[in-house]
A = this chain, B = another copy of it.
Amino acid sequence: MAEIVTLADAIAAAVRDGDTVAMEGFTHLIPHAAGHEVIRQGRRDLTLVRMTPDIIYDQLIGAGCARKLVFSWAGNPGVGSLHRFRDAVERSWPQPLELEEHSHAGMANRFAAGASGLPFAVLRGYRGTSLLANTTGVADIVCPFTGETLTAVSALRPDVAVIHAQVADTRGNIQYWGITGVQKEAVLASARSVVTVEEIVDSLEPRPGAVVLPSWTVDYVAHVPGGAHPSYALGYSTRDNDFYLGWDEISRDRDRFSAWLDEHVYGARPQVAAGAGIKGGAEC
């Protein structure tokens, strides 16, 4: 059964130095506020897992939380590069970043294998690419029926999954809809889980396209309205595209990035939605 707690308590209880942490959300419902709390609490040596590491992982990397990144597309969607990620990879700032790099199909299947309690998943993928020579967790596998060679990818089993959802009920059942990504798999594959939500209601109402995670699959729920900003929660907010565009400038420069972090993450009160002070436009 999920416990409903503050964001600070949830992160303190669930995320430990050295953990493998998957903060998931496919463009939609990215748990930015929870990521900021991880930065504030000074977690170190994390292995960060995520199909599409974007701004929040750029911030975690730039803040020195990450030792390793397991991913399939590290960019600012629709904008271009992640400069903190690049600075870490190209110039080891603030520290070296080990990479374990995959394709989306590979990562999605690795999460699905983890959620399924299997050590690997099978797909048609990677063949002929340079990824094969530069990553781990990928191997050939032969079909015992046809003899055909396919690709196996090793399961992901993070220590913690962190996601953002639209709604929880007071018992800790979680509901989210819109683009639902790989969050169900991430939560089910992980040993522990934290979910931030826009709203806590007495009981969930059925909704088209909604995923429901029963309370007994989740450990900690925190009420963090706006906790996805600058990503969005369908029905609650829209994607702050200006922030994504503005991040390109903020993140290019180490000092400017550090100043931003001081003001908007370290300087922010934990339980306040971290997006509140950094709405796009003017500040970016």
Contacts and interface: CB of A to CB of B under 8 A. Distances in A.
Contacts of A118: 122-124, 150
Interface in A198-219: 206-210
A146 interface: yes
Mostly helix, strand, loop or mixed at chain A's interface? loop
The 6 A-B pairs at the shortest CB distance, nearest first, are namely: A206-B208, A139-B144, A119-B143, A145-B154, A119-B146, A120-B143
Nearest to A205: B208
A273 to B, nearest CB: 28
Given A121-B122, A208-B210, A144 B150 contact: no
Interface string A146-164: 1010101010000000000
Interface of A: 116-124, 137, 139-141, 143-146, 148, 150, 152, 154, 206-210
Instruction: Name which of A145, A150, A152, A209 has the most chain B CB atoms within 10 A of its CB.
Output: A145
Given A117-B124, A121-B122, A122-B118, A145 B137 contact: yes
B119 A120 contact: no
Contacts of A206: 208-209
Contacts of A124: 117-118
A31 B137 CA distance: 43
A116 B124 CA distance: 9
A102 to B, nearest CB: 14
Nearest to A210: B208
A39 B76 CA distance: 58
Nearest to A145: B154
A136 to B, nearest CB: 9
Contacts of A117: 124
Contact of A144 (B123, B141, B143): B141
Instruction: Name which of A144, A154, A206, A207 has the most chain B CB atoms within 10 A of its CB.
Output: A144
22 contacts: A117-B124, A118-B123, A118-B124, A118-B150, A119-B146, A119-B148, A120-B122, A120-B143, A120-B144, A120-B146, A121-B122, A122-B122, A139-B144, A140-B144, A141-B141, A141-B144, A144-B152, A145-B152, A145-B154, A206-B208, A206-B209, A208-B208
